[in-house]
Each structure stands twice: as structure tokens, then as C-alpha cells.
Amino acid sequence: MTSGTLQHAGARSNHIRKSRADRTFDLIIYTIAVIMTLLALYPMYFIVIASISDPNQVAQGNVLLWPQGFSMEGYSYLFSMGNLWRGYLNTILYSLAGTLIMLAVNIPVAYSLSRRDLVGRGFFTFFFIFPMFFGGGLIPTFIILNNTFGLVDTFTVMVLPFSVISYYIVVARTFFQTSLPGELWDAAQIDGCGNLRYFFTIVLPLSKAILAVIALWAAVGHWNSYFNAMIYLRTPEKYPLQLVMRNILINNEMAASAMTGSAAADINRKANLIKYGAIVVSSLPIMTMYPFVQKYFNQGVMIGALKG
């Protein structure tokens, strides 16, 4: 056995045999990690079990780890409403179209700003970063979208006017600058590759991580969005799921406040069931999608954090 092998074996043995202080430190770290994980997961778990429990048991604090007084009444009421399914369809369409438009707009801009040979690069960078700190305001934006472009109460107003996100551009630009070496472009030029071909055949295939990150952020943003719909949509048939849920909860609360006695108690009971069920119904698709893009999401975020 050579001296190098002995040294390697000794180093490996020292690495395996941890001191008591190291083991104590590891135990503390793992304990904190487990506690933080439980603190993050329990609220979601509580919402699920509360949505299928008796609301009176929930109000009395009897629902902690298991459902009490199993009931699917809240889900039955939600699923019986036709506007809920219409809102689901609208949200899916808004999320798909909005995510694709955001990728089509922000990714090419980010790549262009990452190129050092871009003429006026500093000006264009300032042009896209400035709106991160200063905006035109809600009322001027509404006037422009309504009077100038006529987009109010249309499908387009939910996916096009707010598709440029400066933060996405900054993150993607940092990724391109730190993850794509300049020599790659030089080699592509030698082989006769132009800018468009280089972007679509080399840059995009090598950028799956950041594409997944931006796509997930955009999809979650569109799925959870209700404020733009509340301001710019007038027709209930065009409302997204979140706005439909909001209206259902508000209507039930208003109905409960307008009644007294057993009728008010029944409406309050139904409103509590609907509240937790609405959270589960509106969050489940995004939570289901996340595991499929988790690998790219983690990779893209870590690459930007380490090299940015």
C-alpha cells in the first residue's frame, strides 16, 4: 500500500469518526431542520383536515392532528357551483397563455442584456430596471388600457400588459452571464452560427433550469392573481378562480351578517367549510405541478445564488 493510499485512508477515517462536539452540533442542526419543516408543513396539513371537519369542532380548537366530525359538505357546495368550474378554466387559460408570453418576452430580453456586444446595453438595462422602483400608478394604467388600447374586460388584459417583469429579466440575465461562457459564442460563430440560431439551438437547451424557474414563478403569479382581474374585468364569466373564490366567501359573509338566529349560524357554518375547501381547491394544482419542476427550480436558483 502506497503512502498516498495510507494518507487517503487516514483522512477518510478522520472524516468518519466525528468528535462528540461534532455529533452534538449535527444533532442540533437536524433537530432545528425537523422543527422548521414541521412548522412549514403543519399549516397546509391543518387546512386540509379542517376542510373535511365539522366547523364547530374547528372553531372550538378540537381539530389538531385528525379530522373531527368528517364532512364533505364544503366541497359539495363548491363543486355544485358552475362559476367555480368556469373560473378554473379561465385561470388555466390565463396561466398557460401568461406564462408562455412571459417566457417569450423576458427570456430574449435577458439574453440580449447579457451580451457585452449589445449596443446601448447600459441604457436598455436602465430602461428595464427603472420600473422596478417607479411605476405609473393604477389610475393612469387603467386609463391607458381602457381608452387607448381598449383592453379592459378582455382576455388579453390578463396576459399581455403586465408580461414584462424586470425581476425575471435581472435573474435570467445573471444566469446567462455566469453560466454561458463567451467562448461558446465564439465557437458557434466559427461554425457559421448566427445570433438567432445560436439562441434557439444552443442557449435555450442549456438554460432549462432558469426557464423552469421563470415559468414556475410566472405560473404561480398568474394562478394566484385576483387584483388585476378585480380592476380590469367586468364580466363574471371571465373571472379567474381566485376572484370567484373571493366573491363566494364575501357573499356568504354578507349573507350571514344580514341574518340572525339559526339561519345566520347555518350560513356561518357553511362559510367556514367553504373557506378551507376553497384554499385546498385553489392551491392543489400548483402544489401538484411543483414536484415535476423541483429539480430545475432548485438548480436554477442555486446557480444564480452561487455565481451571481
Tell me the pLDDT tens digit for each residue of 135-182.
788 899 999 999 999 999 999 999 999 999 998 999 899 889 888 888
Q: Is residue 63 part of a domain?
A: no
Is residue 56 domain-resident? Answer: no
The residues near 225 (Cβ < 8 Å, ≥ 6 apart) are: 94, 158, 240, 242
How confident is the model at residue 279, as a pLDDT?
Answer: 81
Q: Distance between CA 163 and CA 160 in Å, rounded?
A: 5
Q: Which helix (H) or strand (E) holds 18?
A: none
Instruction: Give residue 181's domain range.
Output: 73-307
Same domain, residue pair 162 and 303: yes
Mean pLDDT of 193-217: 89
- Burial track 191-216 (b if 16+ CB lie within 10 A, e otherwise): eeeeeeebbeebbeeebebbbbbbbb
* Tens-place pLDDT, residues 61-115: 788 888 887 777 778 777 777 788 888 899 999 999 999 999 999 999 999 999 8
List the one residue out of 66, 74, 38, 78 whose CA is nearest residue 247.
Answer: 78
Pick the closest to residue 227 from 245, 213, 243 (CA basis): 243
CB 127 within 8 A of CB 169: no
Q: What is the pLDDT of residues 214-242, one digit of tens each?
A: 888 898 889 888 899 999 999 989 999 88
Residue 302 — very low, low, confident or very high, per pLDDT cuts 50/70/90? Answer: low
Position 54 pLDDT exceeds 80: no
Would you say residue 57 lies in a domain? no
Let me know whether 225 and 284 are in one domain: yes
Same domain for 16 and 123, yes or no, is no
For the segment 279-289, what is each residue's pLDDT rounded down to a tens digit? 888 888 777 77
Asked whether residue 78 falls in the same domain as residue 152, the answer is: yes
Distance CA 283, CA 137 (A): 30
Structural domain includes residue 62: no
* Number of domains the chain is built from: 2
Are 30 and 109 members of one domain? no
pLDDT value at position 307? 46
For the domain that residue 157 is a member of, what is the CATH number? 1.10.3720.10
